[in-house]
Amino acid sequence: MPAGPLLAVDDLSVTFTQRRRRDVKAVDGISFSLDEGSVVGLVGESGCGKSVTSLALMGLLPSRGVRVAGRAGFRPGGGDTEADLLSLPSRRMRDLRGRELAMVFQDPLSSLNPVVPIGRQVTEILVRHRGLKGRAARSAAADLLARVGIPDPGRRLREYPHELSGGMRQRALIAMAVACRPRLMIADEPTTALDVTIQAQILELLKELVTEEGTALLMITHDLGIVAGLCDEINVLYAGRVVESAQRHELFRAPTHPYTAGLLASIPRLHASRDLPLTPIRGTVNDAIDWTDGCAFAPRCDNYAEDCLGGPPHMREERAGHRFRCVHPVRTDAAAVSAEQSPAAPEPSAPKGEDR
């Protein structure tokens, strides 16, 4: 395996500049990385900058009124040369998108063109990146639909998006995303718009596809329950920054940042652990203060103390691979126990979203 991660995001920030209005810093220095073939979660409340991060990585932010800074090193083709996704010329990005980088969006209905048959929307990516034409493209498209579990693909190819169910539409979008066996797939809340039972199926499908193809998956969600069943590694975002980052088991067993702990406490779980009662985090993300003034979570934090202000808390790493950005971290019972001594980490909640 070549040295270095597949994607290394370093200090990514995105600022929306609007005429006659205060700039909005939607992403404020996010750093995380993702290895070839791994599944990494990006978790955070609504409005914390998840979608903006994914769009920045895909080069899909509007060209005007946006300032992007930082670096996103990506190794196209998995080779040793690294390209910065944030500064590649748009022509190169166009070549990478769809072929090496793919994306699945939140709302499958609005993400499909209503007046173009499903088949055309699948074949166009095969035509563009795999040079397939006519019949070959159609039969490859039918194979793809079958692959993502759409029955009777020949008929579905001729249908329009409104003729498919929500789950089928998301499957079709996933088929488009995996059409060229991308190296990295970004899924931005791919199940939020779907029924609970369908959610589980779609997650299962995504997991199966990335495992089979060795595609790396960046899973973006507000729902820790979803990443629990899927991700190797989880990054928790708050107000545009990563506040905690750890392996899945580590994070669920020993949430260290008060925000993460709060998120975990607020998911209903089958095997509810008594020391983490079901309590929502008070306040909303709108209560955040600016990172330059101190910890953005301070207005909502139970562990808050004076020294949390005055500047952004630094990332700390007390155990290998478990980093957090907090002055007074949570020391749960589980966290006090070292990894070797803990026989059973709390069962991560199944993805069959108890949430909504």
User: Cα separations (Å) of 98 from 109, 186, 203?
Assistant: 19, 11, 20
- The item of ligand SF4, another protein, ligand ATP, none sharing an interface with residue 26, based on CB under 5 to 8 Å by kind, is ligand ATP
295 binds, among ligand SF4, another protein, ligand ATP, none (CB under 5 to 8 A by kind): ligand SF4
Partner from ligand SF4, another protein, Mg ion, none binding residue 97, C-beta < 5-8 Å depending on class: another protein
Q: What is the DSSP letter of 12?
A: E
Who contacts 110 (Cβ-Cβ below 8 Å, separation ≥6)?
Answer: none
Q: Residues 234-263 vs ligand SF4: string with x where CB under 6 A?
A: -----------------------xx-----
Strands (E) across the chain are located at 7-16, 24-34, 39-43, 66-74, 83-84, 101-104, 184-188, 216-221, 233-238, 241-247, 316-319, 322-324
DSSP string, 180-192: T--SEEEEESTTT
Based on CB atoms, which residue is closest to ligand SF4, 71 or 328?
A: 328
85 makes contact with ligand SF4 (CB under 6 A): no
How many alpha carbons fall within 13 Å on the CB side of residue 168? 16
By CB under 8 A, name the binding residues for another protein.
55, 58, 60, 93-99, 102-103, 105, 107, 110-116, 120, 124-125, 128-129, 160, 162, 173, 176
305, 307, 325, 343: which is closest to 256 by C-alpha? 325
From ligand ATP, ligand SF4, Mg ion, none, which one binds at residue 172 (CB under 5 to 8 Å depending on kind)?
A: none
* Residue 51 interacting entry, from Mg ion, ligand SF4, another protein, none, C-beta within 5 to 8 Å by type: Mg ion
**In terms of CB distance, is 99 or 323 closer to another protein?**
99
| Of 304, 353, 346, nearest in space to 198 by CA | 353
Q: State which residue, 130 or 249, has the beta carbon closest to another protein.
A: 130
Helix (H, G, I), strand (E, B) or coil at 206: helix
Interface with ligand SF4 (CB under 6 A): 257-258, 295, 297-298, 301, 303-304, 308, 313, 326-328
